Each structure stands twice: as C-alpha cells, then as structure tokens.
Amino acid sequence: MTAPGTDVRRQRPRNRKQLILNAARDLLVELGYPSVTMAMIADRVGITAGALYRHFGNKADILEAVVAENFAWLSEPVDAVGFDATMESLIARIADHPYLTDLWLHEVRYLSDDSLNRLRRRMRNWQRSLAPILRELRTDLDNGQQDLLLWALASVLSCLSRASLHAPDAVRLPAVRSAIRAVTSAPLAPTGPKLDGVGARSLPVSMRERLLLAAFEQFGYRGFHDTSMATIGAAAGVTGPNLYGYFESKADILRAVHERAAHALWLGLDNVLASGGDPGELLREVARSYVRLARTWAWTLDDPIGKADLGDSFKLVQREYVDEWVALLTRSLPELEPRQARVRVQIALSVVSDMYRIPRLTFRASFQDNLVSLVLAILHDGPWATGSDK
C-alpha cells in the first residue's frame, strides 16, 4: 500500500531510460525525426519534459541512443557454424528489434556525419562477414554475383523488421526463411561489364515534368522534410513565382510524384496482362516490368517518400497493385494460401527497392535479369523457369 501523502507520479521506475528509448523509437518510425519533439517523447512515456532532460540533453542524443541500442548486434560476433545456423542466429537477433529497417531507411540519415559513417562501416563489415559462408554454399559465384546475393540476403533479413510488412510472426518468419533459401539458390547470369551512361538522361522541355523528376530525386536523397520547394526548383531550373505556378506546395508535388509512380506501374501491368499467357508467364513479365520501372518510379510503392500523409487513396493503390501480383502467384501455385502469397510478394518488392539503393549493383549489364531471377525465386520458393527459360 502506498504511504499517505506519497505522490505516485514522482516514483521513478528503474527502467525509465529504456521506456524513453522505446517511446522515441516508436515515434521516430511513426512520424519521422524532424516531426518528433522532446515534449512528444515525454508525453508518450508519461513524464515531464524536465524528467526527460535529466536522461538526454536533446533529441539528437536520443536518436544516437536509439540507433546504438538497435544496431548493437552488428558488432556481436556470430558463433554459429555453417550457413543455415548463421542465418538462424541473425534471424533471432533481428527479430528482437522492431522497426529496425525503418530506422535504417529513414532515420539514421539524421545522425551526425561521424556517427552515420561509423554505422555504415559496421553494416558493410557485417555484410562482408557473411561472404565466406555464402561462398561455401555457392562456389559458382563471381565477385559481382556474390555482392548481389549478400545485399539480397540483407534485404530479406530486413523484412523481419519492416513496419510496412503486415504479417504475424507465424507467417513472416517462415516466409523469410524460405526467401533466404530461394535467394541463395537462384540462378544468376555472369555479372558482366559495367554499363556506360547509366543515370544520364535528357530532360523534358516541360517545366512541370522537370519539377516532378527533380522532386523525385530530391525526396529520395534528402527525405521529404529536408527537401524544400526552393531546392526542387533549383534542381529543375525553375525559381521564384514560376515554381508555384505548377505546384502549390511541397505536399502537392509529393502527391504528384506518387500519382505518377502509380500510373507508371499500372500501365506496365496492363500491358503485360493484355499480352495473355498462363499465370506463371504473366508473373514473370510483370516482374520484368516492375524491375525496369524500379530504376525510376516503382520504388515509391514499397517505400513511400517521407512521413507525409498521402491519404487512404495511396494505400488503396498499393494494396490493389500488390493484389494483382498475389492473384497471379496463387493462380500459378494453387496450393499457396493468399496470406502466404502476399508476404512473398511484399518480400520480393522490398528486395527490388533495396537493390536499387546500391548504385554499384545497378550499373552492371546483368543486374536487371538477375534481379528478376531473385524475385521469381522468392515468389516460387526456389529456382523457377517458364516458357523459353525451361
């Protein structure tokens, strides 16, 4: 029983610092670092701002602590022997950190330069540590193929902690394990030479189109909150009042970017479906269409830019587009339950968007063909061929 006159609110729980870190992590994922305030974190924990400042001097300190806690496993040696045991060890570690992927994709960019560079080095070193066990499993790989598979494995593992992948652990964990096996068994073409001129493009005459392209690039590089109308205009060569003659606000141009992406995806899908064929062949061509578009617009489907509220209409577009993949996959594999098919599709789309974040991978002649092979392997739980590939 509490003694008379005791203020329960003043009793400090022993794990208050951990409660703060958990609340901060959740808010960062929900709203994004620029939108989160110290007052929000204090309110989420149920403490005063003064109590919060006794633990952390500012929001940047909290971000550093959240990242340090959630990525500490990168420095922990893996004592498992063999590929399968190593993967199980990593699954156990990553699954214990909700939203790990969302922190990496969206929030670590707000760390100090030194902290961000150290974190990236740790991530690269962790990934390279997997190379020997992968090489034992796939002795046929050239260096470029090995690099591609290492990043694909990291992407599949990241699906254990993606907020956008809505599935219970009973579905998610088996799907991730299957995708790991599928990725490592996928047939790959030789890496081939580096392509010349990739990324170079002629700009359209239309200023509105230039602004859309500039916004797409700036949002992807800086994030939504750190991109201004001025930076978009400067990148497109449009300044002053002329800029607002095309778009009223940054949110307006963001919506236009996502609408353009949705239109591109649906046109690609419609063109494939119009060609006819059995579900397996259609799924292969849809995968090819998506991988081609992922160099430009398609990645916004899997990874919406920023934390801006795009409304229910965008979520509906996402869901309906994924539904088309799920329908083709379940028609191709009638024994597969729709819920399992959906998770496979989500993992495959995540791998595509993640691979395009590694420029050195994308500049190889075989990149798109090999990425399609990875997608189809994930969808079909192993190497798969149809039509002329049989």
- CATH number, position 125: 1.10.357.10
Q: Report pLDDT digits (tens) over 2-58.
A: 444 444 344 566 788 999 999 999 999 988 898 999 999 999 999 999 999 999 999
Q: Are residues 155 and 174 in the same domain?
A: yes
Q: Is the pLDDT of residue 1 over 50?
A: no
Both 331 and 348 in a single domain?
yes
Give yes or no: residues 66 and 81 share one domain. Answer: no
| DSSP designation for 94 | H
User: Is residue 88 helix, strand or coil?
Assistant: helix
- Closest residue by Cα to residue 159 from 316, 343, 317: 343
- Amino acid identity at 212: L
Average pLDDT in the chain: 86
Question: Looking at residue 28, which CATH number applies to its domain?
Answer: 1.10.10.60
Q: Which domain holds residue 326?
A: 207-389
Whether residues 212 and 146 fall in one domain: no
In this structure, are 220 and 273 located in the same domain?
Answer: yes
Residue 195 lies in a domain: no
Q: Is 236 left (phi over 0), alpha (psi -120 to 50) or beta?
A: alpha
Q: Is residue 4 part of a domain?
A: no
The answer to whether position 193 is within a domain reads no
- Whether 107 and 135 map to the same domain: the answer is yes
Give 62-71 pLDDT, tens digit per residue: 999 999 999 9
Encoded tokens for 314: 């965008």
Amino acid in position 289 = S
Task: State how far the alpha carbon of 290 is from the alpha carbons of 76, 169, 299, in Å.
Answer: 37, 27, 9
- Domain-embedded: residue 168: yes
Task: Tell me if 194 is assigned to some domain.
Answer: no
pLDDT value, residue 7: 43
At 305, is the pLDDT very low, low, confident or very high (cuts 50, 70, 90)? low
Residue type present at position 294: A
Q: Is 28 within 8 Å of 107 (Cβ atoms)?
A: yes
Distance CA 335, CA 353 (A): 28
pLDDT tens digits for 109-167?
999 999 999 999 999 999 889 999 999 999 999 999 999 999 999 999 999 988 778 78
Cβ contact 184:211 at 8 Å: no
Taking the C-alpha atoms of residue 39 and residue 107, their distance in angstroms, rounded to an integer, is 19
DSSP secondary structure code for residue 363 in this structure: T
User: Does residue 192 fall inside a structural domain?
Assistant: no
Q: Distance (Å, rounded) from C-alpha 170 to C-alpha 239?
A: 53
User: According to the model, what pLDDT value does residue 285 have?
Assistant: 95
Cβ atoms of 284 and 376 within 8 Å: the answer is yes
